[in-house]
Each structure stands twice: as structure tokens, then as C-alpha cells.
Amino acid sequence: MRSFLKYLSIILITSVLTIVALIQIAPFIIVVPKKDTQEIEINFDQNVTKKELKAVDRKAKNIILLIGDGMGINQITAYRIAKGGPNYTSAFDKFPHTGLIKTHAINTLITDSAASATAFSSGIKTVNGYLGVNKDKQVVKNITEMLHEKGYVTSLIATSEITHATPAAFVVHNESRDNTDQIAEQLFRSNNFISLGGGRDFFIPEDLGGQREDDLDILALIKEEEAYLGSRSDLINFQLDPSKRIFGLFSKEGFIREESEPDLLEMLDFSLEQSNKMISNNCTGFFIMAEGSQIDWEGHENNFDGVYKEMDEFSRVVDRALKFAESNQDTLVIVLSDHETGGLLIETDTWERNPQPRNKMKISWNTAVGLGTHTGTMIPVFAFGPGAENIGGVMDNTDIFFIMEEALGIDNLAERKCL
């Protein structure tokens, strides 16, 4: 009898330890309590109604497009409250023009960053995962290519790999965001003038320590033919040679916030400075796309502390861009997101009608499928500068491209060779 009890207790202890170990090491297999969900038949009409735009008389010369990946209206609201309370004025709150954007991809309600950034860069709906190609995989021209022909200096900035979906959709044409070898090569062969972000590994072959499956050493080519920045100090000490395009590849993959990496604001400031030098060097104007890439990643993790830090960095960039545009009245600033990530909620924690006053914000996430996914909610857009008057009401994500085109008057700009 005593040995039976002994075995029973060993079995019990082992089971408890196994369960504890599973909870520790594999939270992804823990089944979350099922939330109420419902499926509704919808009519997925693929024709987008294009917003009617007002003719912009005073054209913009430059555009700064700031994308907070995964930044929904609740991320912006929760950031404001966490930063300084519900009455705090965040950088987002200072814009005179706001609107809402529908984010769906061509055949799915929930978009990914590739389809969404292609809508912004090229004005078309496409399939999730596609970069700069339509649903039939045909190449569509993007705004950086159009502007290059008009003598523009263009910049792409991200805290993810520079080959990641959002920046890539502004420069490459590929049927899969996962074709990183091809994306890095297309970026290298493109006319984009400044590329700043992570993802150095995708420019180096595997046998030289990188992640390229072919043997093309693009990093060596960059160092030979163009200007290469490998660290924050390279960025700070940079001397422009207008004949060389600039590649800042500050980390192996996405930024991990090391001292050798610049932050988003330093990269924006760098681009503004070099772009202005290029304009004095006979370029027409500049286009800068800067992405707070990791707001999305923290949303996937359902990590609000992480979202807050990423939003704080992104909001400093928003603030700087707005101040730049206020003192240079020729720049259109558009701040938006591609989709919401994680189903972030700001909830009450009581059914009481008149709860006690409290100074806590209760954050929760929609974890109905067990992981933070993208959601299909509309996302907000903020704008300032010439052409910002077309931002307003409910828009489609493809409208953003046409609003930028109208603001600059791209069709009427003369062809010009600057780079």
C-alpha cells in the first residue's frame, strides 16, 4: 500500500511538472478560452470606388509618408493615454486633416503589409504577399519610379529589414514578400537613392555569413559602387557624394535596438539633410517613406509595453515631420497605418454604471485565435501641407496614392535627370 501511494505521488508530481513546463516553454499550444465569434456571408465586390479629389492649386514639392505598421486607432488612443493621460496632446493630435482608411486586400478582408503598401505605392488592390504587382502578377509602376523620372530623390526607411514588405512595396516588383534574395537585388538595382534599415544578411551569401541562397555578394557591390553605412557612427559622419546612392544596413535582420543602430528619428533627419543637399544639387524635390515597423511585431506578441516603446519612437518622427512641414510650407506629411495588429482594446473592468474613480487603463487583446493577428478595422490617417485637403472622410487605401499624385502634380512635372 505504501509503495502504491509512493507511485501515485510520483505520477502526480510528474504530471504537474510537465504541465508547468509546457506552460513555460510552449504558450502557443495552450488553448485560450473560446470567445464568441460569428461568421457572416459578405459580398466581396472587387471594384473600388475611387475618391473624387479636389484639384490642388498650390502643389507640394516634397512628401513625407510615415507608416506605423499595425497601428490602429486603439494603439494611438492607448499611446496617448499611457504617455500623458486622456487629455494629453500627442503628435498625432496636432494634424488638421484626418480621415479613415479601408484596408482590405483584393480578395481578403484582412490585409498584410505587402498588399497594403502596394496600395499606397501604386494605387492598386492586390493579393496578400504580392509586392508591386497586380493580382495577375503584372508589374505596376510605383511612386518612387515615377518620381525618379521627374528628378526626385527618394528614401525608404524602416526599423525592420529594408527588404521587408512595407519598404519593398515602394521599390520592387515580386509575387512573394518571402523572395528576399530577389528583393534585395531589385532594391540594389533600383533608382531609390537612400535605403536605411536592417536586413544586411539578405545582401550577403550564406557561405560568407549572410542568408542569401545564391552566391551574389550584394554588400560587396554596394561597397564598391555606392555609399555604404554599416553603423550609427557611419550615419553621423557621412559625407555626401551625389553620384553614389546610400545604403544603410545597420543590423543583420530587423533592428534589435543596439547602440550601433540609429533610431528612426536619426534616420529621418539624415534623409531630410541629404535630400535637401540633393535638391541644391539640381533635384526637383524629395519623397521619404519611413516606417515604424515593429509596432506590428509587438502587436503580434500582444505586448503593450513593446507597442508603447515603438509608438513613442514613431511619434517623435511624426512630430519632427510636422515641424519640418510647418516651417517649409512645400511639404505634404501623411501619417497612417497599413492595418491594425492584435485587436488591442481599451476596456472597462466592471459592469458598474458608476464605478469608483480610478487611474488605471485596462488593456486587453483579441486573442481568440491564440496569437495576435491583423484585424480588418479601418485605420486613421493624418495629414498636413499642400494636398492634405484631400485627406478626409472614409477612403480606400488605394486613394492615398492618388492623393499624393495630385498633391505633387506628377503628370505635369517635367522629366528631369538628377541622379
Q: Are strands 286-292 and 153-161 parallel, antiparallel or unpaired?
A: parallel
Stretch that binds Zn ion, among 55-63, 186-194, 292-300, 329-337 (CB under 5 A): 292-300
* Smallest distance from Zn ion to CB 259, Å: 27
Residue span binding Zn ion (CB under 5 A) among the ranges 58-66, 191-199, 222-230, 290-298: 290-298
Q: Nearest residue by C-beta to Zn ion? A: 296
Q: In one letter, which amino acid is 320?
A: R
Provide, rounded to whole angstroms, the least separation between the CB of residue 69 and Zn ion. Answer: 7
Between 201 and 230, how does the x/- string for binding to Zn ion read (CB under 5 A)?
------------------------------
Measured CA to CA, the distance from residue 365 to residue 41 in angstroms comes to: 25
185 binds Zn ion (CB under 5 A): no
Residues in the chain: 419
What three-state secondary structure class fits 70?
coil
Locus of grid cell 554599416: 230
Q: 365, 398 in Cβ contact below 8 A?
A: no
Tell me the β-bridge partners of 102: 396
H or E segment at 306? helix 304-327
Beta carbon of residue 70, minimum distance to Zn ion (angstroms, whole number):
5
By beta-carbon proximity to Zn ion, the closer residue of 296 and 399 is 296
- Min dist CB 90 to Zn ion, Å, is 23
How many residues line the site for Zn ion (CB under 5 A)? 1
* Cα separation values, 342 from 40, 142, 306, 373, 396, Å: 21, 29, 13, 5, 21
* Binding segment toward Zn ion, per CB under 5 A, in 28-36, 153-161, 195-203, 296-304: 296-304
Residues 81 and 85: their CA atoms lie apart, in Å, by 4
Question: Segment near Zn ion (CB under 5 A), from 47-55, 188-196, 197-205, 288-296?
Answer: 288-296
The smaller minimum CB distance to Zn ion, of residues 161 and 185, is found at 161
C-alpha cell, 190: 533600383
The pairing of strands 153-161 and 194-198 is: parallel
> Would you say 144 and 171 are in contact if contact means Cβ atoms under 8 Å apart?
yes
Within 315-373, strands assigned E span 331-336, 340-341, 344-347, 362-365
> Which positions from 54 through 73 interact with Zn ion, judged by CB under 5 A?
none
Select from 296, 310, 338, 406 the one that contacts Zn ion (CB under 5 A). Answer: 296
- β-partners of residue 247 are 195, 228
By CB under 5 A, which span of 29-37, 50-58, 295-303, 405-413 interacts with Zn ion?
295-303
Residue numbers 370-409 binding Zn ion by CB under 5 A = none
Residue 311 C-alpha from the chain's centroid: 12
Per CB under 5 A, which region of 19-27, 278-286, 293-301, 355-363 contacts Zn ion? 293-301
- By CB under 5 A, name the binding residues for Zn ion: 296
